[in-house]
Homo-oligomer: A and B are copies of this chain.
Amino acid sequence: MNNKSFISEVANRTGMDSEDAQMFAYTLVDVMNECFQKGDVVSFSNFGSFEVKKRMERIMVSPNSKKRMLVPPKLVLSFKPSSTIKEKIKNGGLQ
């Protein structure tokens, strides 16, 4: 389900119009981005938490040339699902 159809479904259910709903979704991402820049963890109790993590420098062997290469450290955004959602997905049924 892509962005647009998803947001209009949520708008329908909450009685909001789609534009307000889209604005809310964009603002949600903006505020999350600002949190990430400050190094904050953003957590949603019934969904999961997002955190910027530092992936350390590591040595990798190129599959083609078999040469060893140094992969520099990198900041990555990681997501950890909450236990509620893990259960729902594991059981594969609608709870």
Contacts and interface: CB of A to CB of B under 8 A. Distances in A.
A85 interface: yes
Interface in A25-63: 25-37, 40-48, 50, 52
B77 A40 contact: no
- Complex copy number for this chain: 2
Residue among A1, A85, A92 with the highest chain B CB neighbour number at 10 A: A1
A52 to B, nearest CB: 6
Nearest to A74: B90
Given A14-B24, A26-B46, A77-B81, A1 B40 contact: yes
Contact of A27 (B13, B40, B43, B77): B13
A32 B85 CA distance: 10
Interface string A62-89: 0000000000001111110100011011
**Shortest 8 CB-CB contacts between residues of A and residues of B:** A79-B79, A77-B81, A29-B47, A75-B89, A13-B27, A10-B27, A1-B40, A3-B45
